[in-house]
Structure 1
Amino acid sequence: MRIKRGIIAAALAAGLLALGSTPAHAIPPPPPGGDLLTVISYYAGDTLVGQRWFGCNQSGQWGSLEGQAKVSWVAC
């Protein structure tokens, strides 16, 4: 019974280590040789009501920054 518990504990530890070492892919890496412009678009239903952008040595915004937000990245 002790050996079985040891094997199960070792398998769980190995599984946790494997899961903990995977890289996060929430934000894509920049393209080779460049940076990304992050654009956050705000919608009221299907209508675009405002945008905010930053990156590539620029930033700005226009319109209303309220509503449903969608994030996109554009190569510089």
Structure 2
Amino acid sequence: MPLDVCTQFERLALEVRNVGYDRYSADAILHRIRWHERIERGNRAFRCNDHWTAPLARWFLQIHPEAKGFFELRERLDE
């Protein structure tokens, strides 16, 4: 995943937590990033894959352990 997508994901997830949500959708955050890039910035070349959602959520929770439970995670089959 591109670093800018990770940075945006982290910023938005922290913003959602800071307004009081205890749980939220990682998928909704990724869709918000897609909207920002394609519609607000007019970057029609921007692509993000829905398969990025779970890795982004896991990455976020790894670097923000205080947010445990913020995203619902399914058990990974490769574990």
Highest RCO, 1 vs 2 (Cα 8 Å, sep ≥ 6): 2
| Common fold by TM > 0.5 | no
Structure 1-normalised TM-score?
0.25
TM-score, normalised via structure 2 length? 0.24
Whose Rg is larger? 1
Larger fraction in strand = 1
Which protein has the bigger helix share? Answer: 2
